Chain A
Amino acid sequence: MIDVRIQSNNFNFGEEIKKFQKNKIDGAVVCFLGSVRDLNSEEELEKLEIEYYPKMAKKVLEETAKKAFDKWNLSQCLIIHRFGKLNVNEQIVLIITQTQHRKDAFRANEYIIDFLKINAPFWKKEHTNKESYWVEQNKKDLDINF
């Protein structure tokens, strides 16, 4: 089962993981949880704004999940990505992959987050106590071979 959600409201990590624990056969569940960080020592991050291209974002996330699902024989895969204005430490993205063997679950999860970081149309804008600016893409993310 593939579940892809793009939403402004928060998600409940515990409730989401419970859904995966009901599976009696596939015991390997890997989670990636990304949150808002404040890494700038000179300015204080007040809000992180996430803009997205709705139609394309949903399509890219679904296609990415489908590729991982087929390649690593997943039984379940969840992707939640938030948009809107978020506070420091708020959850942004959750990826859960489940399969029989841990290595496949890890690989599938890493593939999804790496792929979406350079292909899914989301953009972050930081609003600090001094100014607002769009976050630049991390060029290192582009070096990954899929």
Chain B
Amino acid sequence: MKIIFFAKIRELIGKEEENITFPEDVRTVNDIVSFLKEYNKIYYNVFENYDFLIACDEELVNMDYKISETKEIAIFPPVTGG
């Protein structure tokens, strides 16, 4: 699955995007966060220490959102536009 990052989260992760194949038991956004925290220390640091939002296919979602149909996940800090 394609994961893209923006703003401060992009700088902390050190890349704009990453393709990761998740195991079958990763079914929700919460599962993705848990998986990534174990995937490497960089993700662990981001999810433990920074505020973040998650969008699945350009829609903001909650942690219990099911990702079965999702093609693109975006992880970014709270927005500051306007």
Contact = CB atoms under 8 A, between A and B. Distances in A.
Contact of A53 (B6, B78, B82): B6
B6 A118 contact: no
A137 B52 CA distance: 11
Contacts of B77: 123, 134, 137
Contacts of A59: 58
A135 B82 contact: no
B9 to A, nearest CB: 9
A92 B60 CA distance: 23
A93 B81 contact: yes
A117 B81 contact: yes
Contacts of A135: 80
Interface residues of B, number: 17
Overall SS of chain A's interface? mixed
Interface residues of A, number: 28
Contact of A116 (B6, B7, B55, B82): B82
Interface in A99-129: 113, 116-125
Interface of B: 4, 6-8, 51, 55, 58-60, 74, 76-82
Interface of A: 34, 50-53, 55-57, 59, 81, 92-93, 113, 116-125, 134-138
Given A56-B58, A56-B74, 12 more contacts: A51-B7, A52-B81, A53-B76, A118-B78, A119-B79, A120-B79, A120-B81, A121-B55, A122-B81, A137-B51, A137-B80, A138-B80
